[in-house]
């Protein structure tokens, strides 16, 4: 025998979500769809999204009018509510992690370049110690050229970019 309180709690669990909850879910789906606008075509295709949604996202990239863009984003949100958002959220999380890792690598290379230019002897010794296979003479020349650029009346920055590229290639192997 069930009590009246049990019947009432069952009724509440069967009620549809409130209007506010539906609106929050719709806005969350729209925001997720808006982030997809920044994806490259290959990334979009890899998600296996419905063709109508992919076309709406591609169309949103082309729209320049503010009002038309807002309507297009609403359409994307509506189409997003019809799919499983879990896979899209996982893809966005993976992409965010990839961007963070690329940023971290960039800052590491930048830091090494600044150290090599600011304190060349100590930084180059450490670089050779951690990467014994490098040609020290080549690196000394690259560092000297980058340092000369930084001096007043130096060049346009080509040597500093070259040093950055050398470091990026070297550190990519780590």
What is the per-residue pLDDT across 1-14, written as a single tens digit (0 to 9) for each?
445 555 555 555 67
With cut-offs at 50, 70 and 90, classify the pLDDT of residue 150: confident
Q: Which helix (H) or strand (E) holds 71?
A: helix 66-80
Question: 82 to each of 56, 91, 164, how far by Cα in Å?
Answer: 14, 17, 46
Alpha carbons 127 and 134: distance in angstroms, whole number: 9
CA distance 39 to 19: 31
Q: Among 93-97, 116-120, 151-155, where is mean pLDDT lowest?
A: 151-155
- What is the average pLDDT across 16-38? 90
Query: Where does the pLDDT of residue 129 fall: very low under 50, low under 70, confident under 90, or very high at 90 and above?
Result: very high
pLDDT for 142 equals: 93
Helix axes 66-80, 19-36, angle to 10 degrees: 110
pTM for the whole structure = 0.65
> How many CB atoms neighbour CB 72 within 10 A?
21
Confidence category of residue 106, pLDDT binned at 50, 70, 90? very high
Distance CA 171, CA 174 (A): 5
pLDDT mean across residues, the chain: 88
Kindly report, residue by residue over 29-70, the tens digit of the pLDDT. 999 999 999 889 998 888 889 999 999 999 999 999 999 999
| Domains of the chain, CATH where assigned | 18-83 (no CATH), 96-172 (1.10.60.30)
DSSP state of 143: H
What whole-number percentage of the chain has pLDDT above 70?
90
* Cα gap 32→140, rounded to integer Å: 49
pLDDT for 156: 59
Q: What is the pLDDT of residue 52?
A: 95
């Amino acid at each position: 025998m069930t009590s009246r309180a049990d019947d009432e709690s069952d009724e509440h669990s069967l009620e549809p979500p409130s209007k506010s909850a539906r609106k929050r879910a719709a806005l969350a789906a729209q925001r997720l769809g808006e982030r997809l606008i920044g994806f490259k075509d290959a990334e979009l295709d890899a998600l296996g999204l419905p063709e109508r949604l992919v076309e709406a996202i591609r169309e949103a990239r082309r729209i320049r009018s503010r009002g038309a863009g807002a309507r297009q984003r609403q359409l994307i949100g509506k189409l997003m509510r019809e799919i499983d958002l879990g896979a899209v959220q996982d893809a966005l999380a993976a992409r965010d992690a990839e961007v963070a890792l690329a940023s971290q690598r960039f800052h590491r290379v930048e830091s090494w370049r600044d150290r090599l230019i600011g304190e060349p002897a100590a930084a180059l010794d450490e670089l050779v110690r951690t990467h014994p296979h490098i040609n020290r003479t080549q690196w000394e020349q690259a560092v000297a050229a980058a340092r000369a650029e930084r001096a007043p009346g130096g060049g346009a920055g080509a040597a500093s970019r070259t040093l950055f590229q050398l470091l990026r290639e070297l550190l990519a192997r780590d």
